[in-house]
Amino acid sequence: MNHEVAMSSVIETAAPPSSSRGKLVVAALLAAAIGAFFYFDLGQYLSLDALKDNRDRLLAFTEANYVAAVALFIAAYCLVVAASLPGAAIMTLAGGFLFGSWQGTLYVNIGATAGATAAFLVARYLLRDWVEEKFGNRLGPIQKGFASNAFSYLMTLRLIPLFPFFVVNMVSGLTRVSVATYVAATAIGIIPGSFVFAYAGRQLGTINSLKEIASPNVLMAFTLLGLLALVPIVYQKFTAKKPAVQ
């Protein structure tokens, strides 16, 4: 019995260093990916000019190797989003240009949702315990409110493009929202924006700036959609304050 207790104690004391090493490895890999992206100036390939200059070659490759092109596109999109790298908007344009508005939106959705989920899980693995340890008392009410209305909150954050995509990914990982809720809200919430950019990608030759896509009218439409997603929360709070009917 004493031997078993001693072994259990050894395992418990050994677990934290192993967990710390795992976090260091994940953080190092993420830092290496981000560092390589900027060191080798890979961002030059994720620009509107680069997409326009190479559109004939990209189209030819896609037509000759459709399945491979789809797989490479989804994998690349996933990596860009998972590492919180710039270029997702250009890749969404490329998706619409290469695969069409509807198929492009679908492939973008798969890549973006997978990448966002990876970023969410990495943030949760690396930072959530530390954040809760340092700020747990102050974050308690926020965590409770977010958990009870997680889907509506996340839908609003996804629909309103004023919130950077990578920030929502990381901040959500610090909350107690379930992975299933996060994936569902992300997959549904990014559809309108993905379709707008994918549709614009079909008119690639006429686009000179991303600002031409994100016009005030489009941004206003997304904002209204985001506010609409908050209606269930407002309704719940309103009905909760009403006295019960005798």
Model pLDDT for residues 147-158, shown as the tens digit of each residue: 778 888 888 888
Predicted pLDDT at 7: 41
| Residues 47, 45: Cα–Cα separation, whole Å | 6
In tens, the pLDDT along 79-120 reads 999 999 999 989 998 999 999 989 999 999 999 999 999 999
pLDDT (mean) for 3-8: 43
Chain centroid offset of residue 192 CA: 15
Specify whether the CB–CB gap between 165 and 60 falls below 8 A. no
Predicted pLDDT at 3: 46
- Between helix 101-123 and helix 191-201 the angle, nearest 10°, is 130
CB neighbourhood size of 121 (10 A): 16
Closest CA to 183 of 229, 145, 150: 150
CB neighbourhood size of 118 (10 A): 16
Task: Look at the alpha carbons of 119, 120, 121, 122 in this order and tell me if their dihedral is positive or negative.
Answer: positive
Closest CA to 117 of 72, 82, 66, 162: 82
Q: What residues contact 123, with CB distance under 8 A and at least 6 apart?
A: 169, 170, 171, 172, 173, 174
In tens, the pLDDT along 48-58 reads 889 888 988 99
Instruction: Among 30-39, 139-148, 157-166, name the one with the lowest average pLDDT.
Output: 139-148
Report for 27-31, 181-185, 205-209: range of highest mean pLDDT = 181-185
Q: 205: pLDDT confidence band, cut at 50, 70 and 90?
A: low
DSSP state of 161: T
| Residues 111, 194: Cα–Cα separation, whole Å | 11
Specify whether the CB–CB gap between 150 and 178 falls below 8 A. yes
Closest CA to 225 of 195, 189, 183, 182: 189
| Residues 54, 74: Cα–Cα separation, whole Å | 19
pLDDT at 220 over 90: no
Domain ranges of the chain: 19-241
pTM: 0.76
**What type of residue is 205?**
G
Specify whether the CB–CB gap between 150 and 175 falls below 8 A. yes
Residue with tokens 């619409």: 96
3-state DSSP call for residue 200? helix
